[in-house]
Structure 1
Amino acid sequence: MVELTVLRESRMEEAHAFKEGKYLDLTKELKKDGYKAKIIPVEIGAKGFVGSSAYGLLSKLSICGNKRTKALRLLAETAENRSRWVWSRRNEKLLHKD
């Protein structure tokens, strides 16, 4: 199981530990039922900083070399662009009353 979190760069280690703990019971239950289960939290900063967890995930998926470099760059650019999009709409109302 992979959970992606895009957050402020200053809290990556804290977010990683939280996500590991969040799914610990589910992982144990799945293993007890005979499944192979592992949670892989991945953190990417809103400003485009890619945590080492993303590098590790790509390695586990056998994405290496130039392909991994390109994937990491794309992850960083996407996180930064989406964060910019959210920020640009910060003053828009989410719910409209008709």
Structure 2
Amino acid sequence: MWSADQKTVAIVELTIPWEENIQSAHERKKLKYEELAQQCRQNGWRTHLYPVEVGVRGFVGTSLMRLCRDFQIRGKAQTQFVRSVAEEAEKSSFSLWIKRKTRSWKSRDDCVGGRAETSILSSRRPEAYQKQGTKRP
């Protein structure tokens, strides 16, 4: 995101690692984009770099909360935003897991718009991972 009027740019990179790799993913992405951020600064732009991590099972790292704070997303809006990001990370991870043995990424038989056809997924609700069409207990 950028503002040419204010010569300000925010570089936001979302990574969805395994929860135990959140810190290393943060450092890796920070290093990956630091050169670009430095070039922006050298060209007179105020530059903010936000490597953001949300675990594959929806765990939200402190980096997302820092982004919310700096973007002044607070209260109910913050709660809804964080929840939706966590849910999307879980859904996307689940969709990839479903496709893990598929040789072609072109088939979308069990996905709609790149998302698995399931309800909100949660590592705390194992029934959400059951095949679609089965009833919850």
RMSD of equivalent CA atoms: 1.4
- Structure with more helix by fraction: 1
1:70 aligns with 2:80: yes
1:10 aligns with 2:20: yes
Q: List runs of 5+ in structure 1 lacking aligned partners.
A: none
Name the CA distance, whole Å, in 1 between partners of 2:42 and 2:97.
43
User: What SS does the corresponding residue of 2:46 show, helix, strand or coil?
Assistant: coil
Stretches of 4+ moved more than 2 A in 1? none
* Percentage of matched positions with identical amino acids: 34
Instruction: State the one-letter code of the partner of 2:43.
Output: D
Larger-gyration structure (1/2) = 2
Give the structure, 1 or 2, with the largest relative contact order (CA under 8 Å, sep 6 or more).
Answer: 1
Mapping of residues 29-48 of structure 1, within 5 Å: 29-48=39-58
Aligned residues: 96
Q: Which residue of 2 aligns with 1:26?
A: 36
**TM-score normalized by the length of structure 1:** 0.91
Mapping of residues 57-96 of structure 1, within 5 Å: 57-94=67-104
Q: List runs of 5+ in structure 2 lacking aligned partners.
A: 1-10, 107-137
